[in-house]
Structure 1
Amino acid sequence: MNETGCCGPTPAVDAKAREDRAPAMSSAPGRPADLELISLTGGDFFMGSDAGEGEPADGEGPARPVWLSPFRIARTAVTNRQFADFVEDTGYVTYAEEVGSSFVFAGLLPDDFPPTRGLLDAPWWRETPGACWRRPEGTGSDWRRRGDHPVVHVSWRDALAFCRWADLRLPTEAQWEYAARGGLEGRRYPWGDDLTPGGEHLCNVWQGRFPAHNDCADGYAGTAPADAYPPNGFGLHNACGNVWEWCADRFSVTHPSGPLRDPAGPAVGERRVIRGGSYLCHESYCFRFRVAARSANLPDATAGHMGFRCAAEALQDSPARDPSRKDTP
Structure 2
Amino acid sequence: MKNKIYRIFTILILAAISVAYSFTQFTTPKEKLTAMDCTEAANTTAVSEFEPTIINKNSAPSQTPKGMVWIPGGEFSMGSNVEDESLCSIKGVTKDASPVHRVYVDGYFMDETEVTNEEYAKFVNATGYVTVAEQKPTQEEFPGVPAENLIAGSAVFSPTTAAVNLNDFIQWWSYVGGTDWKHPLGPESSIKGKEKYPVVQITYEDAAAYAKWAGKRLPTEAEWEFAARGGKTGNLYSWGNTLKPDGKFQANIYQGHFPVKDGDAGEDGFKGIAPTGQFKPNAFGLYDMAGNVWEWVNDWYSPSYYTELSKGGKIARNPQGPDAYDVPNDPEKKRVHRGGSFLCTDQYCTRYMVGTRGKGEIRSAANHLGFRCVKSL
User: Which bracket does the TM-score occupy, shorter chain normalised?
Assistant: 0.7 to 0.9
Partner of 2:320: 264
1:10-159 to structure 2, matched below 5 A, reads: 36-54=67-85, 55-56=92-93, 59-99=96-136, 100-107=152-159, 121-159=169-207
CA distance in 2, matches of 1:283, 1:187: 17
Identity %: 38
Residue 354 (structure 2) pairs with residue 291 (structure 1): yes
> Between Structure 1 and Structure 2, whose CA radius of gyration is higher?
2
CA distance in 2, matches of 1:204, 1:288: 12
Residue 247 (structure 2) pairs with residue 216 (structure 1): no
Please tell me the residue identity of whatever aligns with 1:64. H
CA distance in 1, matches of 2:247, 2:168: 36
Q: Deviations over 1:161-203 (max 9, x none)?
A: 0001001000000000000111212111111111111111110
Q: Deviations over 1:285-321 (max 9, x none)?
A: 111111101011111010000000000102xxxxxxx
Judge which range, 213-222 or 52-61, deviates more: 52-61
Partner of 1:172: 220
* Cα pair distance change 1:38/1:150, threshold 3 Å: same
Matched length: 282
CA distance in 2, matches of 1:57, 1:208: 23
CA distance in 1, matches of 2:95, 2:363: 20
8 Å CA contact retained: 2:84, 2:94: no
How far is the alpha carbon of 1:123 from its aligned partner?
1.3
CA distance in 1, matches of 2:340, 2:95: 13
> What SS class does the counterpart of residue 149 from structure 1 fall into?
coil
**Off by >3 Å, runs of 4+ in structure 1:** 53-58
Please tell me the residue identity of whatever aligns with 1:206. Y
* Cα pair distance change 1:199/1:297, threshold 3 Å: same
> What SS class does the counterpart of residue 113 from structure 2 fall into?
coil
CA distance in 2, matches of 1:313, 1:207: 37
Please tell me the residue identity of whatever aligns with 2:317. R
- The TM-score, its normalising length taken from structure 1, stands at 0.81
8 Å CA contact retained: 1:58, 1:295: no
How large is the Cα RMSD of the aligned pairs? 2.1
8 Å CA contact retained: 2:97, 2:357: yes
* Cα pair distance change 1:295/1:180, threshold 3 Å: same
* Cα pair distance change 1:80/1:227, threshold 3 Å: same
Q: As a proportion of its length, which structure holds more helix?
A: 2
How far is the alpha carbon of 1:145 from its aligned partner?
2.0
CA distance in 2, matches of 1:78, 1:181: 20
CA distance in 1, matches of 2:19, 2:123: 30
How far is the alpha carbon of 1:8 from its aligned partner?
6.1
How far is the alpha carbon of 1:124 from its aligned partner?
1.1
8 Å CA contact retained: 2:341, 2:368: yes
Structure 2 regions of 5+ residues with no counterpart?
1-12, 23-64, 86-91, 137-151, 162-166, 326-332
